[in-house]
Structure 1
Amino acid sequence: MSGRSDGPNAIHIDSKRVNPLEIWPAIDLRHGKPVRLRQGDYDRQTVFGDDPVEFALRWKELGARRLHLVDLDAARGDDPTANRDAVARIIRETGLPCQMGGGVRDDQAIDALMAIGVSRLVVGSAALKKPDWFADACDRFPGRLAAGIDARDGMVATDGWLETSSTPAIDLAKDLRGRTANIAAIIYTDIARDGMMQGPNFDGLVAMAEATDIPLVASGGVTTLDDVSRLTELGMPAAIVGRALYDGAIELPDVLRLAKDD
């Protein structure tokens, strides 16, 4: 993919995409319930019902072919098992491939989550803090571990977005790529856009995509069908869509059709 950016609203397309834009409807879990946070702030939480399985089945019925799950309790260092029953039910009752992040920091977490059927795991803080361990885990499970790179002002945020490191997000991506060829993807989230219904940071996505050949999953801020269209035109391999679906700003069938993922 190639592109050039001259400002927040000026993205120039140099290529045509061939493959569909994979859409991953998001289900964030806290205390077993489906929730959404604004900018990763646990004090700015909206609860969407009592049972996340209902949303999982709803997204499947509307055409979803895969789901993105986040364990918010484990992400901030709370009980890592609090949401596992709900996750197992989602996987069992939908039969869809599920990608999951939040608190994946050691071999025990990897083994436990793969045992309940998670197809792909997203490693965030530990990819920065333990890059050798992460690279080794990628080599042991080729194509099943993704790096979750969450950025605040271009710097990597860790520990459930509670801390901000001094490492530029692009530098981390390059470093991890140099350590292993078996990273499944980079899930790149601009925290300032997440849950704010303001559109993705297209410039940041282009810069990250140009910095590495690891498949990129755009996360945070996808709000309108125009956002989906621009991601498709940019040649992004995949995107996670969250709050906009829950608030009804966009409808999943329309997103899938525009992304050619239906």
Structure 2
Amino acid sequence: MEIWPAIDLRHGKPVRLRQGDYEQQTVFGEDPVVFAKRWQAAGAKRLHLVDLDAARGDDPTANREAVKSIVAETGLPCQMGGGVRDEATIEALIALGLSRLVVGSAALKRPDWFANMCDAHPGKLAAGIDARDGMVATDGWLETSSTPAIDLAKDLRQRTENLVAIIYTDIARDGMMRGPNFDGLAQMAEATDIPLVASGGVTTLDDVRALVRMEMPAAIVGRSIYDGVMKLEEVLDVAGDR
């Protein structure tokens, strides 16, 4: 199972939110490159970045220098989500050296456009499906739609063969250190053949082992490795991602 250590960016700094709440923010330092190199030294083969400013419609360029530095100084494949809503942004972020981008709100609101972008940039776009009580949340998790997450996944698969992955996040579990929503992940895996990336609540090595038993292709780990609940080296060992 692939492991993607997460670096969430706000105003150029590494932070973590609880359940996507911008008022419940922990700042982990001044320079996100420090964490990127720390995870690389621990054995990470790839990184998952989130632009929290762009996600909720703030300055879409606030974190780009930090992103550029992370990509350049680690040389690792990096994917990033947050505020990817038009082709100009897609092209600008790919030009920074990002390996793939995660499209969330626009995949729900403009599925034809998203499918066209997947076809225009094969191998570069993943769908970020963030669910609150099984329904797709959008706009930096500030809004909840009436569309079931599973229905969106099925619809996207029908529209394009060039969608590389679904990053599936249960918002209620994100940053809460309570474990993933295994039932929701299992239902999503059964509903579509698109490779899944489990996100939100991966807290213990037992959580990682459970995801491996589910044959989950990949998982994102965040707060647990920042708080020291898990060591990334051990996570990589359990996942077999060495």
TM-score (norm 1): 0.92
Q: 2:192 aligns to what?
A: 212
Which residue in the other structure is 1:107 paired with? 87
Match of 1:233 in 2: 213
1:143 positional shift: 1.5
Any idea what the Cα deviations from partners look like across 1:149-168, whole Å, max 9, x if unmatched? 00000000000000000000
Q: Which amino acid aligns with 2:47?
A: L
Alignment match, 1:25? 5
User: Does the residue aligned with 1:192 lie in a helix, a strand or coil?
Assistant: helix
Structure 1 CA distance for aligned equivalents of residues 98 and 114 of structure 2: 18
Identity of aligned residues (%): 79
Counterpart residue type for residue 207 of structure 1: Q
**TM-score, length of structure 2 as denominator length:** 1.00
- 1:255 is aligned, of 223, 235, 240, to 235
Root mean square deviation, CA, Å: 0.3
Extract unaligned runs of 5+ from structure 2. Answer: none
Which residue number in structure 2 is paired with residue 246 of structure 1? Answer: 226
Cα distance in 2 between the residues matched to 1:142 and 1:188: 20
Task: Give unpaired runs (5+ residues) of structure 1.
Answer: 1-20
Identify which of structures 1 and 2 has the higher relative contact order when contacts are C-alpha pairs closer than 8 Å and 6+ apart: 1
Residue of structure 2 equivalent to 1:152: 132
Among 11, 28, 47, the alignment partner of 1:48 is: 28
**Quick one: which amino acid aligns to residue 70 of structure 1?**
V
Paired residue total:
242
> Which one of the candidate residues 192, 217, 239 is aligned to 2:172?
192
Q: 1:177 aligns with which of 139, 154, 157?
A: 157
CA distance in 1, matches of 2:122, 2:188: 22
Give the whole-Å Cα distance in 2 for the aligned partners of 1:176 and 1:118: 23
Q: Quote the residue 1:82 is aligned against.
A: 62
The one-letter amino acid paired with 2:112 is: D
- Matched to 1:51, the amino acid is D
**Equivalent position amino acid for 1:188 in 2:** Y
The question of 1:57 aligning with 2:43 is answered no
Which consecutive aligned stretches of 4+ in structure 1 deviate over 3 angstroms post-superposition? none
**Residue 111 of structure 2, aligned match among 131, 134, 139:** 131
